[in-house]
Amino acid sequence: MHLFWIAAAASFVLSYAAKLLADSFLGDRVSIIGETAGLQYSRNPGIAFGVRLPAGWQELLIGVALLFVCWLAYRSRKTTLSSVGYGLIVGGALGNVVDRLIDGFVTDFFQIGTFPIFNVADSCITVGVVFLLADAVLLSRNASR
């Protein structure tokens, strides 16, 4: 349980601090690798990949999804990897929720190729999901031995 809270707090703080920095200092696109990768300020009113849902539905879906992940974390985290994975997902999700509550948008700023622009919170969520998948594979391998 301890690692869950550390991962959740760290991912929330890092994602929110990065959003504040992007809001304060990022104007024009900053190239890191030519046109392939850079920092590009973007305000995302939608959910994943900028998808917009009808008014009210988007907020409801985000709230239900966050509650579901918290419930799932409580019920099924059994290993260090799953505790950290769930913590990263919850902390990243909370970072995006708090960002959205302030001005109705999520601040995105990482641009890689033609992939939708994303942020630190999105990265934490993605890494958390990868950790959960890796944990499931490891548990499956151990169970088959």
Residues with catalytic annotation?
A: 108, 122
What are the phi and psi torsion angles at 36 (to 5°)?
A: -75, -40
Residue in the block written with tokens 């997902």: 89
- Alpha-carbon distances, residue 28 vs 106, 110, 130, 134 (angstroms): 18, 13, 32, 38
Residues facing 30 on adjacent strands:
39
